[in-house]
Amino acid sequence: MDSLVNILGGVRFDEPWWLLLLPLVVAGAAGYHLFRGNRRAGMLFPSVAALRSAGLAAGAAARLPEWLRWAAFALAVVALAGPRAPFPASSRDTTGIDIMIALDVSESMRQKDFGGKSRFSAARDAALRFIGNRPADRIGLVVFSGGSFTRCPLTLDHEVLARLAETVEPGFFEEPGTAIGTAVLTATNRLRASASREKVLVLITDGENNAGEVAPATAARLAARYGVRIYTIYAGRQGDGEESASSKVLSRQGREALAGLARVSGGRMFSAAESFALMKTFREIDRLEKSRLKGLLPGRNMALYPWFLLTAVALLFVEQALSATRFIRIP
C-alpha cells in the first residue's frame, strides 16, 4: 500500500498545460446535462417497469453512456499531458541459463553404496530432479568414462532429455577409465557456442582423472575463459574403515582435484556419500545459481499515457455498445 501511495504521489506530467482542458470537459458535461440533456424529445409511456422488464434502461441509469463518454474525454486529456510515474528498484530473479551435466558412466559407478542404489542411479535420479526444478533453463547431458559423448545437446525439452538420460548405464563406453578433462572440454565446447551470458557445468564422478589426453586443470581454465562455472560432485564414500589405504589416498586425491577444478572456474565442489546428500547437493547448486542471479531492477519512470489512452478508447467502445442496446433512446 505504501509503495502505491509513493508511486501515485510521484506522478509527473511531460505536458501539464493539457490539463487546463479538464475544467472545460467538466463544464461541457455539466452544460450538456443542463441545457441539452433535459430538453431532448421524448414520449409518455404508461409503465417504466415495463421498459425495464423489456431490457431497456430508464430513469437516471439511462445517462450512463453520457458519463462514459465524458469520462473517456477526460482520460484522453490526461493522456495528452504525458503522465509518468516513478517505480522504485525491485528484486528480480533472472532465469534462462544454459547448463550442461557431465555424468560419469565408468564401471565403478555400478557400486551399490547409496542405500541399495548404485552410485550412477543415485546421481542420475538427483540430476533429473534438478532438471525438473529449472524449467526455464536449457540443459544438456554429457556422459563420460575413458571418453566423452554428448548424449543430449542443450534443450528446453526436458522430457526428451530425461528419456535419453534413462537409456544410459555404466559401461556405455568401451574405453575404461575416467576422463574428467575430456568431459569438461566436451561440455565447454557445447556451452561456448551458447548466446546465454550464464553458463554452468555440473560434473558428477566417483574417481580421479586417469584417462584422456586433456588435463582437467587445462580444461577448467578453458571453461573459465568462456565464462563457464563448474560445480563438481564427488559421488562416493570419502574413505572409511572398510577401504584399503590406497583407495583412501585415491579418494582424497580425486576430491582435491575436483575442488581445484571448481575453484579455477568460480564454482564449488561437493561430496555426497548417500542419495539424500546428492539431492541436497543439487538443491544447493540450484539455490546458489538462483541467488547469484538475483539483483535489483533500477528505479525508473514509466510512461502512463498509453494506459489512459487505451482506457479512454475502451470506454468509448462500451458507450457505443450500450447506446445501441440496453441504453438505446426512444425516439
**Which sign, positive or negative, has the C-alpha torsion 317, 320, 324, 325?**
positive
- The answer, yes or no, to whether residue 42 has pLDDT greater than 50, is yes
Same domain, 187 and 246: yes
On whether residue 328 sits in a domain, the answer given is no
Report the pLDDT value the prediction gives residue 94, as an integer from 0 to 100.
Answer: 47
Report the pLDDT value the prediction gives residue 172, as an integer from 0 to 100.
Answer: 81
- The answer, yes or no, to whether residue 29 has pLDDT greater than 80, is no
CA distance 284 to 279: 9
Mean pLDDT across 284-313: 73
Domain with 50 in it: 2-88+299-323
- The answer, yes or no, to whether residue 313 has pLDDT greater than 60, is yes
On whether residue 331 sits in a domain, the answer given is no
Query: Which cell numbers hold the place of 240?
Result: 572409511
Domain of residue 194, CATH code: 3.40.50.410
Query: Does a cis peptide bond (omega within 30 degrees of 0) precede residue 331?
Result: yes
What does the angle CA 191 – CA 195 – CA 196 come to, to the nearest 5 degrees?
75
- The answer, yes or no, to whether residue 53 has pLDDT greater than 70, is no
CA distance 90 to 297: 5
- The answer, yes or no, to whether residue 12 has pLDDT greater than 50, is yes
Report the pLDDT value the prediction gives residue 142, as an integer from 0 to 100.
Answer: 96
On whether residue 99 sits in a domain, the answer given is yes
Mean pLDDT across 173-199: 89
Mean pLDDT across 118-139: 90
Show Cβ contacts of residue 79 under 8 Å, excluding neighbours closer than 6 positions: 305, 306, 308, 309, 312
- Band the pLDDT of 209: cuts 50, 70, 90: confident
Q: How far is CA 198 from CA 18, 140, 261, 269, 293, in A?
A: 47, 14, 18, 19, 9
What is the per-residue pLDDT across 245-260, written as a single tens digit (0 to 9) for each? 444 545 677 788 888 8
Same domain, 117 and 180: yes
Same domain, 210 and 128: yes
Report the pLDDT value the prediction gives residue 31, as an integer from 0 to 100.
Answer: 75
On whether residue 329 sits in a domain, the answer given is no
Nearest in space to 314 (alpha carbons), one of 98, 62, 51, 71: 71
Helix (H, G, I), strand (E, B) or coil at 203: strand
Report the pLDDT value the prediction gives residue 231, as an integer from 0 to 100.
Answer: 93
- The answer, yes or no, to whether residue 24 has pLDDT greater than 70, is yes
Report the pLDDT value the prediction gives residue 276, as an integer from 0 to 100.
Answer: 83
CA distance 234 to 61: 75
CB 145 within 8 A of CB 179: yes
Same domain, 221 and 276: yes
Helix, strand and coil in the chain, % to nearest 5: 50, 20, 30
Better-scored residue on pLDDT, 184 or 65: 184
Alpha helices for 38-179 (secondary structure H): 48-53, 64-80, 119-132, 158-166
Same domain, 33 and 8: yes
Report the pLDDT value the prediction gives residue 218, as an integer from 0 to 100.
Answer: 92
Same domain, 266 and 118: yes
Mean pLDDT across 4-30: 76
Same domain, 120 and 233: yes
On whether residue 290 sits in a domain, the answer given is yes
- Which stretch of 21-35, 204-218, 269-283 has the lowest confidence by average pLDDT? 21-35
Mean pLDDT across 36-65: 56
CB 196 within 8 A of CB 138: yes
Same domain, 113 and 201: yes
CA distance 137 to 302: 30
CB 100 within 8 A of CB 200: yes
Same domain, 82 and 64: yes
Give the count of domains, the chain. Answer: 2
- Band the pLDDT of 5: cuts 50, 70, 90: low
Describe the crossing of helices 64-80 and 21-31 by its angle, rounded to 10 degrees.
170
CB 119 within 8 A of CB 169: no
What is the per-residue pLDDT across 75-124, written as a single tens digit (0 to 9) for each? 888 888 888 877 665 544 445 689 999 999 999 899 888 878 899 999 99
Number of neighbouring beta carbons within 10 Å of residue 256: 13
What's the distance, CA 220 to chain centroid? Answer: 28
CA distance 176 to 146: 5
Phi, psi for 286 (deg, rounded to 5): -60, -45
On whether residue 150 sits in a domain, the answer given is yes
On whether residue 111 sits in a domain, the answer given is yes
Same domain, 53 and 200: no
Q: What is the mean pLDDT of the chain?
A: 79
Whole-model pTM: value is: 0.59
Show Cβ contacts of residue 249 under 8 Å, excluding neighbours closer than 6 positions: none
Same domain, 137 and 209: yes
Same domain, 30 and 152: no
Report the pLDDT value the prediction gives residue 17, as an integer from 0 to 100.
Answer: 85
